Structure 1
Amino acid sequence: MQLLIQHQTTYHYSLPSTYTIQQLRLTPRIEAHQQVIQWEVKTGGHKTPFIDAYGNQSHTLTITGAHETISILAHGIVDIHAPPFGRIVDVEHFSPLVFTVPTRLTEATPAIYAFAQRGLPRDQTATTSELLHLAEQIQTAVAYRSGTTIVTSTADDALSLGLGVCQDHAHLFLACCHVRGIPARYVSGYIDPETSDHADSHAWVDVWAQDHDFHGWVSIDVTHACLMNDAYCRLAVGRDYDSAAPVRGVRRGGGTETLEVSVHVTPR
C-alpha cells in the first residue's frame, strides 16, 4: 500500500523567541518492508541531518534571531508492505537488551508489577500469541479516551486512571515487558485512518517474541491489539515517547507557547 502523508506542526509564541533548537524525527525509517518514494521536511532555520542512536532518520533544527512562529511541514509518499506475522527482520547492530531498561515514563510500580505478572506467564520469553493477549488486557484496563493524559503521563498514570491514548497503551505494554525482562521498544508513526477509528498520528510497540519458528522483533499495535500491517508507516523507535517523539526541543524566550498539529494520511 502507498500512503500519502502530510504532517504540519506550528508553534506560536506570545513573545519573540531568540533561539530554538529541536530534534526532528519526521522522516520514515529505512526498513525492509517500507520504501520512501518521496519525502521532504520543510521549515525555516537550519536543518542538519543525522542518524540517531536507534537508527532513526533525524534532523537537528536551529533557528536564531527573533521569531514568534515555527512552521514544520513533513510530507511525502511511502510504499509499505505488510511484514509477515508483524515480524521486523532488519539487521541491527546493537543488542535488543538495550530495550529492557525502564525509563521515567515506563517505570514499574507495584500496580504495574502485579499487572505484568498476570499478563505475561514467564520471565524473559513470550510468544506472539501471549504478547497479543497482553495487548488485549491493556485494552480492557485502559480505555481509549483522548484528552485524558498528556505527553509527560507515565504508564502508571494511565493504569491508575484507567484511561489513555495510544502513547499510554504503548508505555504500559513496555513497562510490563520490562518487568518480565522481555525487550520492547516504542514506535512512533502514522496509520491509515480508513483502517482505524483513531488519529492518523499513532504509537505502538516492537517486542522481542520467541516463537517456535522465529526469535526477533514483532510489531504490535497495543491500542487495537493487532499486528502491524501495511496501513502503518514507521517514523522512529526508542525506549519511550521521549526518545522517539517526532518533534522535541528547547527555546530561549518566547513567553507562552501554543502548538497546532495537523496530520493527514490517505491511501494512494
Structure 2
Amino acid sequence: MLLTIRHETIYHYTEELTYTIQQLRLTPRPEEHQRTLNWHITSSGVRNPFTDAFGNLSHMLTITGRHNEVRIVAEGSIAVTPLYLGRLPQTGAVSPLVFTVATSLTQATPTIIEFAHRHLSRNPNSEDLVTLAQAICNAVTYQSGSTLVTSSADDALRLGQGVCQDHAHLFLACCHAVGIPACYVSGYIDPGNSDHAESHAWVDVWVAQSDFTGWVSIDVTHACFASDAYCRLAIGRDYDSAAPVRGVRRGGGEETLSVSVHVSAKALSLSP
C-alpha cells in the first residue's frame, strides 16, 4: 500500500512565549515492511535529529525569541507491504523484556488483573490476542474526547469509554498482568469508511508459537491485526514515550491545540 500523509499541529497562545522546546517523533520508523519514499518536517526554530532508546527517529525542536504560535507539519509518502496475521518481519534491537515494565498509564490494578485473567492466557496465540482486543472494545466504548492523554488504563476501564490510546494502554496492562511483553505503537492509519481518526495508536505483542516467535501487531480499537494500511512512527512503553509531539514552554498564557491529519492510500504498482 502507498500511504500519502500530511500531519499539521498548531499551538496557539493568548500571550507571547519566550521559549519552546518540543520532542518530535514524527518520522516513520525504518522497518523491513515499510519504506519511506519521501518525508519532510517543516517548523520554525531549530530541529536537531536523534534516535531515542527505542529506535525511534526523533527531533528536538527549540524555538527562542518571542512567538505566539508553534506550527509543525510532517508530510510524505510511505510504501508498506502486507503483514501476515500482523507478524512483524523484524524482532528489533531492544529486548522484549523491556516491554514488561508497567508505567503509571499501564499499571495493572486489581480490576485489570481480574479482567486479564478472564480474557487472556499466559501463552496466547495470535487469535487469542484479537479476542482480548474485542473484549476491551466491548468494555471501553470508543468515544472521542471522553478521556485525556493523562488518563490511565484503569481510568478508561472504570469509565467504560475511551479512544485508541486508552484501548492500547488497557491491552498493555492486561499483557503485563500475565507477564507478556507488549509495547505501544503510535502512527497513522488509512481509516477507510470508518469515522475513526487517521492519527492512531495500537500495540505490538511478543508471541511464541510453533510456527512463529516474534512481534505481532494488533489494532485494539478495530480488534484486528495491523496491515499495510498502517504507518508506524514510534514505539514505547506507553503514550508518553511514543507521543508524536511533547514539550514544554515559557510563557504563552492559555494554549489552544489544533491538529489536522490526512491519510490517503492506494495500491502499490508491482514491477513486471
User: By the TM > 0.5 criterion, same fold?
Assistant: yes
Match for residue 71 of structure 2? 71
Match for residue 188 of structure 2? 190
Confirm or deny: 8 A CA contact 2:8 2:71 kept in the other structure: yes
Match for residue 148 of structure 2? 150
Match for residue 201 of structure 1? 199
CA distance in structure 2 between the aligned counterparts of 1:127 and 1:84, rounded to whole angstroms: 14
Q: TM-score, normalised by structure 1?
A: 0.97
Match for residue 22 of structure 1? 22
CA distance in structure 2 between the aligned counterparts of 1:110 and 1:267, rounded to whole angstroms: 42
Confirm or deny: 8 A CA contact 1:8 1:262 kept in the other structure: yes
Give the unaligned 5+ runs of structure 2: 267-272
CA distance in structure 1 between the aligned counterparts of 2:106 and 2:227, rounded to whole angstroms: 25
Match for residue 259 of structure 1? 257
Match for residue 7 of structure 1? 7
Moved more, 190-199 or 238-247: 190-199
CA distance in structure 2 between the aligned counterparts of 1:167 and 1:82, rounded to whole angstroms: 23
Confirm or deny: 8 A CA contact 2:10 2:259 kept in the other structure: yes
2:235 corresponds to 1:237 = yes
Q: 1:141 aligns with which of 134, 139, 142?
A: 139
Residues 91 and 177 of structure 1, relative CA distance in 2, 3 Å threshold = closer
Following TM superposition, the consecutive aligned residue runs of length 4 or more in structure 1 with deviations greater than 2 angstroms are: 91-94
**What is the root-mean-square deviation in Å for CA atoms of aligned residues?**
0.9
CA distance in structure 2 between the aligned counterparts of 1:152 and 1:142, rounded to whole angstroms: 16
**Cα displacement string for residues 22-46 of structure 1 (whole angstroms, at most 9, x for unaligned residues):** 1000011000110001100000000
Moved more, 7-16 or 190-199: 190-199
Match for residue 81 of structure 1? 81
Please tell me the residue identity of whatever aligns with 2:53: A
CA distance in structure 2 between the aligned counterparts of 1:253 and 1:262, rounded to whole angstroms: 25
CA distance in structure 1 between the aligned counterparts of 2:238 and 2:59, rounded to whole angstroms: 19
Please tell me the residue identity of whatever aligns with 2:246: R
| Residue identity (%) | 63
CA distance in structure 1 between the aligned counterparts of 2:121 and 2:77, rounded to whole angstroms: 41
Q: 1:131 aligns with which of 129, 152, 174?
A: 129
Please tell me the residue identity of whatever aligns with 2:95: S
Match for residue 169 of structure 1? 167
Match for residue 31 of structure 1? 31
CA distance in structure 1 between the aligned counterparts of 2:217 and 2:97, rounded to whole angstroms: 16
2:74 corresponds to 1:112 = no
Confirm or deny: 8 A CA contact 1:128 1:210 kept in the other structure: no
**Cα displacement string for residues 197-245 of structure 1 (whole angstroms, at most 9, x for unaligned residues):** 3111110000011221011100000011100011111100000000000
CA distance in structure 2 between the aligned counterparts of 1:163 and 1:210, rounded to whole angstroms: 32
CA distance in structure 2 between the aligned counterparts of 1:221 and 1:93, rounded to whole angstroms: 22
Paired positions, count: 266
How far off its partner does 1:91 sit? 4.2
Give the unaligned 5+ runs of structure 1: none
Match for residue 46 of structure 1? 46
How far off its partner does 1:142 sit? 0.6
How far off its partner does 1:181 sit? 0.6
CA distance in structure 1 between the aligned counterparts of 2:47 and 2:184, rounded to whole angstroms: 25
Please tell me the residue identity of whatever aligns with 2:136: I
Moved more, 80-89 or 39-48: 80-89
